[in-house]
């Protein structure tokens, strides 16, 4: 598991992200995206810094962070595999694909492998519905998942 930075360091790095985005109209979501990009998750130590800068209560910032599926409370693995579980992919057997991958990786959805190599997340539509079942591995799309492609994914995240 990746080491988590100290809280003072989180505060400093968060402050510099805020500085870049504070001029935007409605800057909270861009800031949170920036923080997650920086740390791989949204550390709870970042929330009071953001709240202070935007003149919001900590509860309001927490409310926003917890509302959106994208923002993680814990660091993700080195790879993030988002597996589509929406209707189009269901019609092409995404349930079985998910079962196979969970078994091969030894984790359930929203979990990270013990060696920190990969986080598995369900996603509801990637807009790849004409090549279902589909996934996004570290932002790169993969369509028509079959046993061969599942094997390739597992090999890639393990290396």
Partner 1 sequence: MIPRIYIPGDSGALALGADKVAKAIESELAARGVEAKIIRNGSRGAYFLEPMVEVATATGRIAYGPVQPSDVKSLFDSGFLTGSPHKRWLGDPAKIPFLARQTRLTFARCGVIDPFSLDAYERLDGLKGLRKATTMQPADIVREVTESGLRGRGGAGFPTGIKWKTVLDTPADRKYIVCNADEGDSGTFADRMIMEGDPFVLIEGMAIAGIATGATKGFIYIRSEYPHAVAAMNKAAAIARKAGVLGASVLGSSYAFDIEVRVGAGAYVCGEETSLLDSLEGKRGEVRAKPPLPAHKGLFGKPTVINNVISLASVPVILDKGAAFYQNFGLGRSRGTIPIQIAGNVRYGGLFEAAFGLTLGEIVEEIGGGTRSGRPVKAVQVGGPLGAYFPRALFDTPFDYEAFAARDGLIGHAGIVVFDDTADMLKQARFAMEFCAIESCGKCTPCRIGSQRGVEVLDRLARNIEPEKQLALVTDLCNTMKFGSLCALGGFTPYPVMSALTHFPEDFKPAPVAEAAE
If one asks whether residue 51 binds partner 1 (CB under 8 A), the answer comes out as no
Instruction: Give the SS3 label for residue 62.
Output: helix
Within 8 A by CB and 6+ apart from 66, the residues are none
Per-residue contact string for residues 53-92; x = within reach of partner 1 by CB under 8 A: -x--------xx--xxxxx----------x---xxxxxxx
Of 44 and 124, the one with the shorter C-beta distance to partner 1 is 124
Per-residue contact string for residues 86-125; x = within reach of partner 1 by CB under 8 A: xxxxxxx------------------------------xxx
If one asks whether residue 128 binds partner 1 (CB under 8 A), the answer comes out as yes
If one asks whether residue 27 binds partner 1 (CB under 8 A), the answer comes out as yes
Q: Measured from the CB of residue 116, what is the shortest distance to partner 1 in angstroms?
A: 22
Please tell me the count of residues contacting partner 1 according to CB under 8 A: 43
Cα separation, 111 vs 120, whole angstroms: 6
If one asks whether residue 132 binds partner 1 (CB under 8 A), the answer comes out as yes
If one asks whether residue 3 binds partner 1 (CB under 8 A), the answer comes out as no
Cα separation, 2 vs 74, whole angstroms: 10
Tokens 């369900």 found at: 122
Of 23 and 106, the one with the shorter C-beta distance to partner 1 is 23
DSSP 98-140: HHHHHHHHT--TTEE-TTS-EEEEEES--S-GGG-S-EEETTE
Cα separation, 127 vs 84, whole angstroms: 10
Cis omega (within 30 of 0) on the bond before 66?
Answer: no
Cα separation, 71 vs 43, whole angstroms: 10
Kindly tell me which residue out of 8, 23, 103, 130 binds partner 1, with binding defined by CB under 8 A.
130
Residues near partner 1 (CB under 8 A): 24-30, 32-33, 54, 63-64, 67-71, 82, 86-92, 123-132, 134, 136, 139-144
């Amino acid at each position: 598991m990746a080491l988590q930075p100290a809280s003072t360091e989180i505060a400093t790095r968060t402050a510099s992200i805020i500085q870049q985005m504070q001029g935007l109209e409605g800057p909270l979501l861009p800031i949170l995206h920036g923080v997650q990009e920086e740390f791989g998750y949204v550390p709870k130590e970042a929330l009071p810094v953001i709240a202070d800068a935007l003149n919001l209560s900590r509860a309001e910032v927490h409310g926003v962070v917890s509302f959106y599926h994208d923002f993680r409370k814990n660091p993700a693995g080195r790879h993030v595999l988002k597996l589509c579980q929406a209707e189009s992919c269901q019609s092409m057997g995404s349930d079985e694909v998910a079962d196979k991958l969970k078994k091969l990786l030894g984790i359930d959805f929203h979990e990270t492998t013990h060696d920190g190599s990969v986080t598995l997340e369900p996603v509801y539509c990637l807009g790849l519905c004409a090549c279902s079942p589909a996934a996004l591995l570290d932002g790169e799309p993969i369509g028509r998942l079959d046993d061969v492609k599942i094997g390739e994914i597992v090999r890639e995240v393990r290396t």
